[in-house]
Amino acid sequence: MSLRNFGYRAFQKGMLVATSFLDWTPPEVLKGPGAVKKLPALIKEQGLDNVLVVTDKGLMGLHLLDSLFEGLEAEGIRYTVYDGVQPNPTIYNVADALQLYLDNGCQGFVAFGGGSPMDCAKATGARVARPDKDIRKMRGQLKVLKKLPPFFAVPTTAGTGSETTLAAVISNPDTHEKNAINDPVLRPDYAILDPELTVGLPQKITSTTGLDALTHAVEAYIGHSNTKQTEEDAKIAVKLIFENLETAYHDGKNIEARENMLVASFHAGLAFTRAYVGYVHAIAHNLGGMYGIPHGLANAVILPYVLDWFGPSAYKRLAELADVAGVSGAAQGDRDKAKAFIAAIRKLNEDMEIPLGFEQIRDEDIPLIAERALKEGNPLYPVPRIMNLDECKALLKTLQQGGK
């Protein structure tokens, strides 16, 4: 092992020890068809009578929040709506939401939607808790360190796991800078998993968000920073995704499959928020930044290529996941089981019309994308095998050519 890689591993071990002292209490879960209708009573039980609902205009236009609003009114709970969240929430979104929260005397947050409303609400809550700090000063690890107001998260996709995570990413459109805030206090207090909110998701969003959740679970499980609980959460997620994703994709009104996918996303979120992700995410983030490729789609395409690259360093863990997913078949030994698992991921991608690569990757961009991806990944992500710059560039070239 090189001195550089030894340093990376030492850093990762230090982080594993340090994070063991943090509060990892998961959100309480309210789940099942119509669960969102029970949320107002839950809010009332917590002694709140005034909340800020953070969402986006698309969801408002679909009237997905109507039953929530009716329930809040029936319980006598005042609510203010901030629906200006952008796909990549900005510092200005947070400032606007914060002003509404303060002007209306709100006491807590309901984040309703995908990762963007969740991130906006988390960052706004952090500003309420720490009025002395702007977003830039909270960037990084453990910069909030003060309990947020009560936080209720209602995911409308089964993929991001934001209802379980300790992270929020807020963009500055003036500098094109992303501010990643990571602190356990950002984890929502309650997660409301209502499959009825996801039955109308298009097939493309169903597939890419589901594969996003799979990537969370797999990267967490094969990394070096697991606990017994993150291992269990990752296995639950992988099993449920292999059993339910294609059903939800082909039969969007199947409530059982939709609920199981929400539960899978929740457990995958629990796994990766403590055990971290890996190079799939590092590359996906930078392809998204460079070309606007949706995050879930990028993860879906990249995942099997990175797992191939890890080779023997990941065989044992991938073999265990193959057994959990029920895709081992007649394979014997870790190597063959691992390859069967990677093949099963490729088959999922093929069945749901996920492309093999990204032709938009330009040769001249590859060095910068690789440099940025490894800057994100090393030393933080506890991957099975550490990648260098030339290896990352070669992998990006393979992605560009669709595996050819």
- The closest of 1, 4, 2, 3 to 374, measured between CA atoms, is 4
- The closest of 53, 288, 55 to 178, measured between CA atoms, is 288
| C-alpha span between 287 and 369 (Å, rounded) | 7
pLDDT digits (tens, 9 = 90+) for 296-341: 999 999 999 999 999 999 999 999 999 999 999 888 999 999 999 9
Per-residue pLDDT at 164: 96
pLDDT digits (tens, 9 = 90+) for 352-398: 999 999 999 999 999 999 999 999 999 999 999 999 999 999 999 99
Per-residue pLDDT at 292: 84
Task: For 172-193, give one letter per residue: b (16+ CB within 10 A) or e.
Answer: eeeeeeebebbbbbbbbbbbbb
pLDDT higher than 80, residue 206: yes
Cβ of 343: how many Cβ atoms within 10 Å? 15
pLDDT digits (tens, 9 = 90+) for 38-68: 999 999 999 999 999 999 999 999 999 999 9
What is the pLDDT averaged over residues 71-78? Answer: 97
Cβ of 380: how many Cβ atoms within 10 Å? 18
Q: Inter-axis angle of helices 295-310 and 389-400, to 10 degrees?
A: 120
Residue 11 sits at φ, ψ, to 5 deg, of -60, -45
Q: Which residue segments constitute the domains of the chain, with CATH numbers given?
A: 25-197 (3.40.50.1970), 200-400 (1.20.1090.10)
Question: What is the DSSP code (8-state) at residue 150?
Answer: P
Strands 167-172 and 177-182: antiparallel
Q: Spell out the residues 6+ positions from residue 383 whose beta carbon is closer than 8 angstroms to its own.
A: 222, 223, 224, 278, 279, 310, 377
pLDDT higher than 90, residue 144: yes
Q: Taking CA 290 as the corner, what is the angle to CA 373 and CA 361, rounded to the nearest 5 degrees?
A: 85
Percentage of the chain modeled with pLDDT above 70:
100
| C-alpha span between 7 and 218 (Å, rounded) | 24
Residue 172 pLDDT class (50, 70, 90 cuts) = confident
Taking phi first (over 0 means left), then psi (-120 to 50 degrees means alpha), and beta for anything else, what does residue 354 get? beta
Average pLDDT, the chain: 95
Question: What is the DSSP code (8-state) at residue 187?
Answer: S
Contacts 24+ apart (CB under 8 A), 358-367: 358/287, 358/291, 358/293, 358/298, 358/301, 358/399, 358/400, 359/400, 359/402, 360/291, 360/293, 361/287, 361/291, 361/396, 361/399, 361/400, 363/400, 365/290, 366/393, 366/396, 366/397, 366/400, 367/393
- Residue 245: both structure tokens together: 């994703």
Residue 237 pLDDT class (50, 70, 90 cuts) = very high
pLDDT digits (tens, 9 = 90+) for 245-302: 999 999 999 999 999 999 999 999 999 999 999 999 999 988 988 898 999 999 999 9
- Residue 143: both structure tokens together: 């910069």
| C-alpha span between 147 and 166 (Å, rounded) | 12
Per-residue pLDDT at 330: 85
Per-residue pLDDT at 248: 98
